[in-house]
Structure 1
């Protein structure tokens, strides 16, 4: 199912060229988009005329540009040269010096074995070809000595970089020539002893790929790439079949799905979200390209970090704001086809293999409804965000010190799955949020919104009995909610009486008040009465207001304080605290409060 969807996406990419360049977004069968750093210009006699940089210098640091080249060999072991391009160890016979103590004086060393393998392959395949450029490459390989790398125009920066060739005066690379493509096409023809079997993806009988091309770009994975389909030990073999023969996928299908996946994993395409240890890729399939791109941009805006492009932000923001207020997709963006197929694939590294964390095949309309429901579940009054928060911003609320690397890996995938499928939020989310609040006492708007979402969704699914209020609910008699409100009142009394202090009541007591209220609230109430007595002398009217709030809440409690709060109750405590505190914040400066805070006549 997953491979079949990726093969279909590859065909979409192949059939819709890049509007800026007019070139296909992905290479044709047998080719691969690789990072090529340098181009060696050859004369007709095989002499090196110049070395040109192919680095993109528009960013913070130079990076190699992508060029479509014959697909690379899978080097699990041994020496295997690529055709018409490779690293300097193969093309020029030089590699970086592994001896760190000597590397400063001599940054590169000769790699003769790899160069001889590259030389032998190309002389064998190209020597009888009449093309001037290919003959120039043969002459270069026959005369080249790796020690010549010490001379201009070569430099130490080239070591271990990927290199291609071009004939001086030509615009095309040597690997792009028709003669080269013909030779490479013949090299792609399966050997006579290749296994022919029905492909599990296409259903057609064709040569089976024993090794699938590597998948690169999975966050935390090996730089050389990994595999989704892999059989590299006797324990995985059956009935004498080895490697890819155990799950027959044709060479063409293996190339298509890995090429599509490598394209999706490129961060500049904005179709990959990396959160925790999982890389989530997504794509759409629609009757027209515009609907598919709109669906993909919507998902990226909801789940990825904000883009730097101000124009794109301005275009997407109204759409997201409507979704974040729970409006249906048909109203937010009428031009999007609700039946557009949408695919989401979560990947995580596992040594040389890649694990499937989650997989979703749905319609865009269903996905958008689940996202809208997610925002409805988080809805608080006043709104807890200025701009609709991405999943990254939400997960940061659970991380120690607010750092991405501290996001619990499993939680990232589980939260993503809950949002896109509409399932119950992971219980781990509630425990992480309440734990972070107990540690730092900071009940932010997003933390409160997430806690409310977990409880509200459980209520909708009839897993708990009490609904969670969107705004301050003075009629709510839930003990945990009332104690959260009471704690906010106690904090307000302290602030009004003492002003800014080094260690507030929240800093000292929030953790114990929200988990074992019996142990602290009697003392907190006694201290608050002392503060209120002082406040009556300075701001009598304000003291009356706060004393009324405290009395109203205490009356609802009935004079009892629970010995222990469950995780759910700790969540309700946080929401009650947040909503009562926000009530004071939003009414601050109102006409009523100004009168109360004014120089009122003190009591006799």
Structure 2
């Protein structure tokens, strides 16, 4: 996984160097050529949180702690100008002094910084700067940087390169001081897991950002952490347990941050990061379009009452199929050797949690995406069409009432089922089955995603040998559980035709028992229908119902099962739903014929 992340960095040309990092800046403090304060520029525009500078100076956390330093050029307003709610504490005064001291030290390379450092040490000047920031409603934690006027335009120091060499030398001097304090540098060298070279392992790792909405910290999380004694092995300390050079650690972190920022989607409590081994056109990017669809970033699992439009359904079904055909026929040779990579991650109190890692050929991805939609397809509630495209959020929401209740491991498991074509675990199907049962008993509208989920579970359950199960009523299935579900639907239709709306009918009162122990319930319900309901129905419709019941019972090779397994209960639910949908379709057709 880490090697593929590094390869992505090299392919895309990510500029990664220890001591540098991209940062967002909100406020620009502008000074004149003499170092006097001029004005403040707000970089915030629209929804952007400021302006991003790609190569800002940055200390590691350990460097800041061990040397009692603050960041150079870019830091928070309370550190730069002592913008605090109350009187500054001694620590805040020390942090400000450290920031100004670095500016003064860097004046050997950039002379303009000397006068600015002098201004930031003057209380009168600081008061003027704080007054303007307060009027602009700046917060103590907002990031600031500095600039000097050159003619009519500000020279933003962090956007220049003339300080880079000084900065590298300064950080190197800190590292030399630490090495001299050690007894033997060579004795501390280990084999880097990523480069294979003998290196002095980085003691700590850089922070991975962008996971605060999935359990991570706003300050960032580390991929490998050894801050507890139990995390160590064989007497190794900190980073020695997973030896990587400072350069490799920085490269992995920067690459992962770039992927999270540009090629990731949030799925409930996780983020899925995805990329390819070569550039892919937007219209060919199956992971960003077909699987995710129009997945929202908020925790919602609603599905439209009428389902996706016909255009959406055809587009979703054909895109993966067309790409697969093109690859297999040689028309898209550019995709033949293309690989996909998918990383599912979340955060947990400062640590990055890797939930899943997948990689494979683009051809297998196209095949599995097509299969995902095929397996989830289900006849619509009204029996008029087949629903083929389900939002991934709706598929996840099939298991729970609220997506915020969805455990992260479950998301990773279902994501793997979509991309790798793996079977759906029985515990997930049991959750959906419970929701379907509650919908039926509560007389709620059936959710397409839930029934499609159950069909996919049956199709991918190889020992059932039902991989060819159709989206609508399947007359080729003679499984007793499936037939019992269809019989239950016919009994409900008989009662509806005989008595109309009676409130709590046969479905609401007996569905739960019939779907688990049909042998104890169906016989009694059939007798009730024969004695109390069928005699009240007119001849033609009555004959139709009797014919349906006779046909279904005649196909039952054994008596109704005493108890049903999870797979059998799923077949019962599908038989009931598909039979009901067929009934609605025939009813609609009958009404249309009458109108003609």
Shorter-chain TM range is 0.7 to 0.9
Q: What does residue range 166-205 of structure 1 map to in structure 2 within 5 Å?
A: 166-168=147-149, 169-189=152-172, 191-192=175-176, 193=179, 196-205=189-198
For residues 212 and 523 of structure 1, do their structure 2 counterparts lie closer, same or farther at Cα, with a shift above 3 Å needed? same
User: Could you state the TM-score of these two structures normalised by the residue count of structure 1?
Assistant: 0.81
Task: Give me the whole-angstrom Cα distance separating, in 2, the residues matched to 1:307 and 1:171.
Answer: 42
Q: Is 2:358 aligned against 1:360?
A: yes
1:127 to 107, 125, 144: 107
For residues 492 and 72 of structure 1, do their structure 2 counterparts lie closer, same or farther at Cα, with a shift above 3 Å needed? farther
Q: Is 2:86 aligned against 1:86?
A: no
Unaligned runs of 5+ in 1: 16-25, 98-105, 599-604
2:49 to 60, 63, 85: 63
Unaligned runs of 5+ in 2: 180-184, 297-308
| Aligned-residue offset at 1:5 | 1.1
The answer (yes or no) to whether the contact 1:38–1:158 under 8 Å persists in 2 is no
Task: Give me the whole-angstrom Cα distance separating, in 2, the residues matched to 1:336 and 1:165.
Answer: 48
User: Could you state the TM-score of these two structures normalised by the residue count of structure 2?
Assistant: 0.82
Segment drifting more, 426-435 vs 166-175: 166-175
Aligned to 1:284: 276
Aligned to 1:601: none
Q: Is 2:451 aligned against 1:448?
A: yes
Q: What does residue range 187-336 of structure 1 map to in structure 2 within 5 Å?
A: 187-189=170-172, 191-192=175-176, 193=179, 196-218=189-211, 219-238=214-233, 241-266=236-261, 269=262, 271-286=263-278, 289-290=279-280, 297-306=285-294, 320-323=316-319, 328-330=324-326, 334=332
1:117 to 98, 101, 109: 98
Task: Give me the whole-angstrom Cα distance separating, in 2, the residues matched to 1:563 and 1:71.
Answer: 72
| Aligned-residue offset at 1:84 | 0.9
The answer (yes or no) to whether the contact 1:94–1:108 under 8 Å persists in 2 is no
The count of aligned residue pairs is 554
> Which digits, 9 at most, give the CA deviation of each residue in 1:31-86, with x for residues without a partner?
322222221112223232222111131x4xx6334322425444479554112101
The answer (yes or no) to whether the contact 1:39–1:54 under 8 Å persists in 2 is yes
For residues 506 and 44 of structure 1, do their structure 2 counterparts lie closer, same or farther at Cα, with a shift above 3 Å needed? farther
Segment drifting more, 247-256 vs 479-488: 247-256
Q: What does residue range 364-379 of structure 1 map to in structure 2 within 5 Å?
A: 364-379=362-377
Please report the RMSD computed on the Cα atoms of aligned residues, expressed in angstroms: 3.5
| Aligned-residue offset at 1:468 | 5.7
For residues 272 and 43 of structure 1, do their structure 2 counterparts lie closer, same or farther at Cα, with a shift above 3 Å needed? same
| Aligned-residue offset at 1:348 | 2.7
Three-state SS of the structure 2 residue aligned to 1:357 is: strand
Three-state SS of the structure 2 residue aligned to 1:520 is: helix
| Aligned-residue offset at 1:213 | 1.0
Task: Give me the whole-angstrom Cα distance separating, in 1, the residues matched to 2:333 and 2:499.
Answer: 57
> Which digits, 9 at most, give the CA deviation of each residue in 1:307-348, with x for residues without a partner?
79xxxx999986532156698352699475131121111113
> Which digits, 9 at most, give the CA deviation of each residue in 1:369-394, with x for residues without a partner?
22222233334456976562243221
Task: Give me the whole-angstrom Cα distance separating, in 1, the residues matched to 2:310 and 2:140.
Answer: 44
For residues 50 and 158 of structure 1, do their structure 2 counterparts lie closer, same or farther at Cα, with a shift above 3 Å needed? farther
The answer (yes or no) to whether the contact 2:24–2:50 under 8 Å persists in 1 is yes
For residues 527 and 35 of structure 1, do their structure 2 counterparts lie closer, same or farther at Cα, with a shift above 3 Å needed? farther
Task: Give me the whole-angstrom Cα distance separating, in 2, the residues matched to 1:147 and 1:197.
Answer: 51
Task: Give me the whole-angstrom Cα distance separating, in 2, the residues matched to 1:53 and 1:163.
Answer: 10
For residues 43 and 496 of structure 1, do their structure 2 counterparts lie closer, same or farther at Cα, with a shift above 3 Å needed? farther
Aligned to 1:344: 342
> Which digits, 9 at most, give the CA deviation of each residue in 1:477-522, with x for residues without a partner?
2111011111222232333344455445444433222122234334
The answer (yes or no) to whether the contact 1:301–1:390 under 8 Å persists in 2 is no
| Aligned-residue offset at 1:563 | 2.7
Aligned to 2:303: none
Segment drifting more, 212-221 vs 170-179: 170-179
For residues 581 and 183 of structure 1, do their structure 2 counterparts lie closer, same or farther at Cα, with a shift above 3 Å needed? same
The answer (yes or no) to whether the contact 1:39–1:53 under 8 Å persists in 2 is yes
Task: Give me the whole-angstrom Cα distance separating, in 1, the residues matched to 2:312 and 2:376.
Answer: 21
